[in-house]
Amino acid sequence: MCSRVVITGLGPVCSIGIGIEPFWQALLDGRSALSPIEAFDASGYRSKLAGEVREVKIRDFVPKSYRKATKVMARDTELAVIAAKLAAQDAGLITRGSEDADEGFAPDLTRIGCQIGAGLIAADTEELSRAVVSAQDDAGKFSMEKWGTESNALGTGESGMNNLPPLWLLKYLPNMLACHVTIIHGLEGPSNTIMGAEASAILSIGESARVIERGSADLCFTGGAESRLNPLGLLRWDYSGRLADTGEATDGSTITKPYDPDSKGGIIGEAGGMLIIENEHHAKARDATIYAEITGFGAAQTPPPVFPGILDQPDPDPIDRGLEAAIESALIDANLSQADIDLIMPMGIGVPNLDAMELGALRSVFADRLDQIPRITLADRVGNTMAGHGGLMAAAGAMCLASQRLPANSSQSQPDTINHVLICSGSLGGQSGALVLSKPQ
């Protein structure tokens, strides 16, 4: 990348920690938190465990004047808002969203962008069911006739759809993550919402860096957030074939094992993973703490087959070619070779055939060196947190560079110096992204 883009704020929110200090400590301690889902009764599901974010209340993370608006936030939005607040705080920013901060840097809001990776948000099942049962026909099936407000079958006002709150739709638009964050903090620069399943946050962070590079913003709130811990969301991910049947197990770390052919499958997680990134000059001028520099970004598409809806699939390629291409582009962008990479952070979601394809891509890039490079995965600690995952990986990678330490349970012992970290992800639809983070100069 030409004009340098640096990471100055970290806001990870996931099952092992809320905020960078507890998150990093949990990684150093080698903790994982994959336990029975509490958000709703998931005992009827095949996969009953998750990396769940507990004991945080959205009210505590928004200005008092904004508390009312939290009623129209889906869980995904809450996680993004909390993570954004923590990242801004960590970066020492003062905005209208930080009423509790007494000192910090107040940036030019027209020069701040916001790019947040998001997932498909499921409507609240309880809220919808309550409304839908009011519109059944005699056979107990959903009746559009009764759902409409002009229905004669029910008095106007009692009708099915009027049981949904007026702002119902606005809770489920994926861009609401970025919209609430921009409104809370007053960010008026370019805003985007990128959806690429597990690759969403990496793609968002990369695009965000490009927004700064091209001069359209000085600083961006970026990353991703997602929660599928609701009836429809969990079902859809179960249907993707990426979740383990967890049976009677209560600790997911015994189930999901990255790159292990005997792994029983993936475990879902929920997370917000937000960063503050900025133009290096801007960061230095305000004397910000720089964790890492974003030196490379690559995006690519895996040729199908990767999902069941496309019918004429050839035999699966044992190498995820899109991921391979994304990594190669990111290395070229960073003006580095594979030999320069000191640490790899891939997904390792614990689904053996997918892990094998991912490993195939890494081996294709790193050849024999792959087994000597430390590799860190988070999915076995916090679950596959989908659109939030890349933000968590970037926070962990940035901490490795800033502290020159590795989390516990890394695949290799620590190198003498950690200069360059590769973060990469494929996804359900084959959209792939890779970032290179480097030790700040």
Partner 1 sequence: MTPKKQRVVITGMGWVTPLGTDIDNVWNKLLSAQGAIGPVTRFDASTCATNFAAEVKNFTLTDHLGDRAHVHSAAGLGTQFALAATKTAWTMAGLDTTPPNLKRTGIYLGAGEGVLDYPPYMAANIAGWDSQARKLDSVAWIAKAYEGMNPIAEIEQEPQLTLTHIAAELGTMGPTLNCMTACAASTQAIGEAFEIIRRGDADIMVAGGCHSMIHPLGMTGFMRLTAMSTRRDDPQTASRPFDLSRDGFVMGEGAGIIILESLESAKARKANILAEVAGFGSTADAYRITDIHPDGKGGAGAISAALAQAGIDPNATDDTGRPLVHYISAHGTGTQENDKTESNGIRSVFGKLATQVPFSSIKSMMGHLIQAAGAVELMTCIQAIQTGILPPTANLNNLDPACGLDHIPNKPRDENHRGGVDVCLSNSFGFGGQNDTLCLRKYKD
Positions in 167-206 near partner 1 (CB under 8 A): 167-170, 172-176, 178-180, 182-183, 185-197, 203
The window from 27-35, 258-266, 325-333, 370-378 that contacts partner 1 (CB under 8 A) reads 325-333
CB of 254 to partner 1, least distance (A): 23
CB of 241 to partner 1, least distance (A): 8
Our CB check for partner 1 shows the closer of 145 and 340 to be 145
- Determine contact, residues 28/407, Cβ cutoff 8 Å: yes
Instruction: Evaluate the omega torsion of the peptide bond into residue 305 and state whether it is cis, within 30 degrees of 0.
Output: yes
Our CB check for partner 1 shows the closer of 15 and 302 to be 302
Our CB check for partner 1 shows the closer of 22 and 303 to be 303
Binding positions for partner 1, 222-281, rule CB under 8 A = 231-232, 235-236, 239-241
Under rule CB under 8 A, how many of the chain's residues touch partner 1?
107
Tokens found for residue 412:
């290799």
CB of 245 to partner 1, least distance (A): 13
For partner 1, the binding residue among 268, 325, 343, 362 (CB under 8 A) is 325
For partner 1, the binding residue among 28, 56, 104, 213 (CB under 8 A) is 213
How far is residue 336's CA from residue 258's CA, in Å, rounded to a whole number?
27
Binding positions for partner 1, 62-121, rule CB under 8 A = 69, 72, 109-110, 114, 118, 120
Binding positions for partner 1, 133-162, rule CB under 8 A = 133, 136, 140-142, 144-152, 159, 161-162
CB of 320 to partner 1, least distance (A): 11
Q: Give strand pairing partners of 300.
A: 432
Tokens found for residue 6:
């640096």
Does 306 sit near partner 1 (CB under 8 A)? yes
CB of 379 to partner 1, least distance (A): 19
Backbone dihedral angles phi then psi of residue 96, each to the nearest 5 degrees: -70, -10
Sequence-separated (6 or more) residues with CB below 8 Å from residue 271: 12, 13, 14, 15, 51, 53, 79, 83, 225, 226, 227, 382, 385, 386, 388, 389, 391, 392
Length of the chain: 441
Our CB check for partner 1 shows the closer of 129 and 372 to be 129
CA distances from 109 to 63, 125, 142, 356 (A): 18, 37, 47, 45
- Determine contact, residues 377/51, Cβ cutoff 8 Å: no
Strands (E), 15-151: 17-18, 35-36, 49-51, 112-117
Our CB check for partner 1 shows the closer of 178 and 219 to be 178
CB of 167 to partner 1, least distance (A): 7
CA distances from 7 to 30, 90, 328, 385 (A): 24, 11, 22, 21
Task: Give the closest residue to 28 by CA, choosing from 372, 400, 436, 341.
Answer: 400
For partner 1, the binding residue among 65, 129, 250, 417 (CB under 8 A) is 129
Binding positions for partner 1, 337-376, rule CB under 8 A = none
Does 316 sit near partner 1 (CB under 8 A)? no
For partner 1, the binding residue among 427, 434, 436, 439 (CB under 8 A) is 427
How far is residue 388's CA from residue 121's CA, in Å, rounded to a whole number?
13
Binding positions for partner 1, 19-58, rule CB under 8 A = 40-45
CB of 73 to partner 1, least distance (A): 9
Our CB check for partner 1 shows the closer of 175 and 404 to be 175
Query: Which stretches within 304-437 are classed as H helix?
Result: 321-333, 352-366, 379-382, 389-403
For partner 1, the binding residue among 157, 311, 416, 441 (CB under 8 A) is 311
CB of 264 to partner 1, least distance (A): 19
CB of 31 to partner 1, least distance (A): 28
Our CB check for partner 1 shows the closer of 203 and 402 to be 203
CB of 237 to partner 1, least distance (A): 9
Buried b (16+ CB within 10 A) or exposed e, 248-278: ebeebbebbbbbeeebbbbbbbbbbbbbbbb
Degrees (nearest 5) of the Cα angle 344, 411, 270?
65
How far is residue 165's CA from residue 123's CA, in Å, rounded to a whole number?
12
Our CB check for partner 1 shows the closer of 272 and 429 to be 429
How far is residue 116's CA from residue 78's CA, in Å, rounded to a whole number?
13
